Homo-oligomer: A and B are copies of this chain.
């Protein structure tokens, strides 16, 4: 874990939030997970993020979460850092999950602000300080107000970075104005934080604002595209980046066009349907209380994949 500790301290590049393939009976599809991860690693991703929102962190019993992380660490086998989501409503439970994640070999952990109980900024800051004091691997703050109903203030994040409590931020806040300010504040403080965007259709703009990397759910479907996009952005080839991004944004219609499911079930349901259509996994099953996409939605996903030239028969 020593080397991992190093590699996870200032992450850059593409770190996809890995979906959790399930068998029809909703148990973990280990072979499917292996296939998804191998495809990402072959594409050249720079890290993987297990047990994120996309990875069904909230949906599985604790024993299954341990199994997911264990298998992920086994398959990745040290080739890239493995981040683990440690999402829980409050501090004590988050700390329990940090302990589990470390024991199972995670190179870094990703934690949200507290949720459920109403919690103000001083307590949110203290929460991250406690996590940082406790963890022996780097802690990333997960800014996802659509789930936790709190936006993390950029000055607080930079303070937490300066004090060493957190190593970076996964920004899924949908607030590009504040992200630009966060970049500027972080730079002024000596760049203690690695800043990663979670919005797969505006990665190019986030890089232009100063992002260090991306955590795109859609990279489950097209990891090569995101690796190319990352390279173009880092190389300053912005028009090439824009074209790749426009192509990937069109591919994201697999999620935006879903009609039979909504919210979480539409996005992750579409990623899973695409992986099944691409022959990567055997099933598109999702956890209770959601249902897998129905035939009509699968046909729509297939049409988008076809237009994008991603289906086997189109290649």
Binding site for B on A (CB under 8 A): 53, 58-62, 64, 87, 89-93, 96, 114-120, 123-124, 126-127, 130, 146-149, 174-177, 180-181, 184, 199, 201-202, 204-206, 208-209, 236, 238-239, 241-242, 245-246, 249-250, 256, 262-265, 287-290
Contacts and interface: CB of A to CB of B under 8 A. Distances in A.
A13 to B, nearest CB: 19
A50 B274 CA distance: 44
A60 B239 CA distance: 45
B180 A177 contact: no
Interface of A is mostly: helix
Given A208-B242, A209-B205, A288-B126, A60 B180 contact: no
A93 B57 CA distance: 11
Contacts of A180: 201-202, 249
Contacts of A265: 119-120, 123
Contact of A263 (B120, B146, B148): B120
A181 to B, nearest CB: 7
Contacts of A256: 181
A123 B53 contact: no
A119 B118 CA distance: 20
A119 B291 CA distance: 12
B202 A127 contact: no
Contacts of A87: 89, 116
Contacts of A59: 90-92, 117
Contact of A289 (B126, B184, B206): B126
